[in-house]
Amino acid sequence: MAFLDELAAGLGPAVRTDRPELDRVRTDRSGWTTDERPLAVVHARDVADVQAVLRLATEHRVPVVPRGAGTGLAGGAVATEGSVVLDVSGMDRVLEIDAGNETAVVEPGVVTDALAAALEPHGLWWPPDPASRAISTVGGNIATNAGGLLCAKYGVTRESVLGLRVVLADGTLLRLGRGTVKGVTGYDLAALLIGSEGTLGVVVEATLKLRRGSSDPVVTIGATFPDVRAAAAAAAAITASGLRCAALELMDAATCAALDALVAAGEGPAGDVPSLSGRGAFLLVQTDGGAAPREADAALDLIRAAGGEGAVAADPATAAALVALRRAAHPAFAKLGDVLIEDVCVPRTALPAMFDAVDDIARRHGLPIPTIAHAGDGNLHPNIVIPPSVPHAPGEIPEVVWAAGEELFRAAIALGGTLTGEHGVGVLKRRWIAEELGEDVMALSRRVKAAFDPLGILNPGKVW
């Protein structure tokens, strides 16, 4: 029997081959759409569906592209030619919350914010908090090792996952890692799967390490600076002083202007948000825990020493408005035009130098690149805006944008940094990965990939 017939016979209505559905999975949130076309999309309902798809795909040598919510920014979940896209977003149950052990067991399609809502009544929370948390899935967070505002203090996704159940390319179901907080039996294959972008296995269940909610105070500071270099120097000084801020978010002048325009258009966040008109940079600082007020005072001293003006938010509503302003950056950029959201990471002391590099690259290429940074961990998101003067088809990223991107990546690597801090390599950064890793690491990584997926059917054309 032909592959599609067998798939339909085995999985029935979970299999979709209609044009709108096939088109939906030809893109993600990167702004790029592939020319390639999948054969089918399968909406897996349970682990058995995932295994059935992979067994059949192995038998017929058909590529399989795992997909969560499709909010990725690197093309990792985008269909490849003749593939089956395995959409696990419907496997979205929270299976267990164990308050005593501070763990939860979840299916991969649980939306990150929905997990937070389920944990809240138990006084528990899961630290990974990508800016996309309202729309991304926990499985996607795991597959990309997602970060977010809080990860400088609370770690990236890998630090908050204890165990996984994973289906390999041949349909084998494995349990990797464990449910205990400690454990060193064998290689840490769960850690290897985290951040593997769907190239080694499909995550069908995860045991998550939680934190207990705290009634300790959170202190929020909003600070402005004459220029981004001063703000970057303040952020680097805060980190170098040993303060571990829960959030340390930096926005440059172009981002301040975009946010100001959003607010002026009446589309900004609710609440009493400060005007960022004419500001050279904005820094959002949050300290938490018992020492929060003292740490906030120390951070304010460093902000002032670097030439900034800052104040502690007077009440929770003002603090919430400051955080909402930061979270409104992406909608603000979207109003400027089509945007390629980039994602490099440098040692934290190199933040001022990386901002200089962004400025120089933006000027030389004549492209606006408003930049925000998770300054607490050196992760910058330069947002390359495609101006109306650069014609491009919908879903196309023009070469002039890649030329600027390439310089950004090389600048980050030259500063001791990396191509991608949290969004992943996917399709879009494949051409630069060897520049960072070198041929020996590339060769070893390909052997690891072959050990998991000898036929190379799992998310081919991604990462490697």
Pick one of 15, 25, 143, 285: the residue that binds ligand FAD (CB under 6 A).
Answer: 143
Question: Between 300 and 459, whose beta carbon lies closer to ligand FAD?
Answer: 459
* Cα torsion 24, 26, 28, 31: sign: negative
Contact 219, 293 (CB under 8 A): yes
Nearest to 43 by CA among 88, 110, 106: 88
Site map 57..86 versus ligand FAD, x via CB under 6 A: --------xxxxxxxxx--xx---------
Pick one of 29, 43, 153, 165: the residue that binds ligand FAD (CB under 6 A).
Answer: 29
Site map 355..374 versus ligand FAD, x via CB under 6 A: --------------------
CA atoms within 13 A on the CB side of 140: 35
Contact 369, 378 (CB under 8 A): no
The token pair that represents 444 in the structure block: 């070893």
Pick one of 131, 273, 292, 313: the residue that binds ligand FAD (CB under 6 A).
Answer: 131
> Which residue has its beta carbon closest to ligand FAD?
140
- 31 lines the binding site for ligand FAD (CB under 6 A): no
Question: Between 101 and 445, whose beta carbon lies closer to ligand FAD?
Answer: 445
Question: Between 166 and 243, whose beta carbon lies closer to ligand FAD?
Answer: 166
Kindly state the smallest distance separating residue 166's Cβ from ligand FAD, in Å. 8
The token pair that represents 359 in the structure block: 């400025």
- 269 lines the binding site for ligand FAD (CB under 6 A): no
Report the distance separating Cα 268 and Cα 134, nearest Å: 17
Kindly state the smallest distance separating residue 305's Cβ from ligand FAD, in Å. 29
Question: Between 261 and 298, whose beta carbon lies closer to ligand FAD?
Answer: 261
The span of 14-22, 136-144, 181-189, 394-402 binding ligand FAD (CB under 6 A) equals 136-144
Q: What is the DSSP string of 365-390?
A: HT----EEEEGGGTEEEEEEEE-TTS
Pick one of 14, 27, 28, 352: the residue that binds ligand FAD (CB under 6 A).
Answer: 28
Pick one of 58, 132, 160, 255: the residue that binds ligand FAD (CB under 6 A).
Answer: 132
Kindly state the smallest distance separating residue 155's Cβ from ligand FAD, in Å. 13
Q: In what order do the strands lie in the sheet with 173-177?
A: 94-98, 103-106, 202-209, 161-167, 173-177
Pick one of 64, 459, 460, 461: the residue that binds ligand FAD (CB under 6 A).
Answer: 459
Residues 146-165 that bind ligand FAD (CB under 6 A): 146-148
Report the distance separating Cα 343 and Cα 329, nearest Å: 14
Pick one of 31, 63, 127, 130: the residue that binds ligand FAD (CB under 6 A).
Answer: 130
Pick one of 106, 203, 235, 358: the residue that binds ligand FAD (CB under 6 A).
Answer: 203
DSSP collapsed to 3 states, 395-461: CCCCHHHHHHHHHHHHHHHHCCCECCCCCCCCCCCHHHHHHHHCHHHHHHHHHHHHHHCCCCCECCC
Residues 172-201 that bind ligand FAD (CB under 6 A): 197-198
For strands 161-167 and 173-177, give the pairing. antiparallel
Pick one of 38, 140, 177, 352: the residue that binds ligand FAD (CB under 6 A).
Answer: 140
Question: Between 288 and 422, whose beta carbon lies closer to ligand FAD?
Answer: 422
Q: Which amino acid is at 442?
A: M
- 422 lines the binding site for ligand FAD (CB under 6 A): yes
Question: Which residues contact residue 199 at a Cβ distance below 8 angstroms, ignoring those fewer than 6 apart?
Answer: 449, 452, 453, 458, 459, 462, 463, 464
Residue 332 phi, psi (nearest 5): -65, -40
Pick one of 63, 127, 139, 378: the residue that binds ligand FAD (CB under 6 A).
Answer: 139
Coil, helix or strand for 96? strand
The token pair that represents 4 in the structure block: 């599609």
Q: What is the DSSP string of 353-369?
A: HHHHHHHHHHHHHT---
Dihedral of the alpha carbons of 26, 28, 29, 35, in degrees to the nearest 10: -30
Helix H or strand E segment including 312:
strand 309-312
* Cα torsion 270, 272, 276, 277: sign: positive
Kindly state the smallest distance separating residue 436's Cβ from ligand FAD, in Å. 18
Question: Between 130 and 370, whose beta carbon lies closer to ligand FAD?
Answer: 130
How many residues touch ligand FAD (CB under 6 A)? 38
Site map 314..333 versus ligand FAD, x via CB under 6 A: ----------------x---
Dihedral of the alpha carbons of 401, 249, 239, 407, in degrees to the nearest 10: 0
Question: Between 224 and 383, whose beta carbon lies closer to ligand FAD?
Answer: 383
Kindly state the smallest distance separating residue 441's Cβ from ligand FAD, in Å. 20
The span of 98-106, 132-140, 265-273, 304-312 binding ligand FAD (CB under 6 A) equals 132-140
The token pair that represents 248 in the structure block: 């340390």
Binding residues (CB under 6 A) for ligand FAD: these are 28-29, 65-73, 76-77, 88, 108, 130-132, 136-137, 139-141, 143-144, 146-148, 197-198, 202-203, 330, 422-423, 426, 459, 462
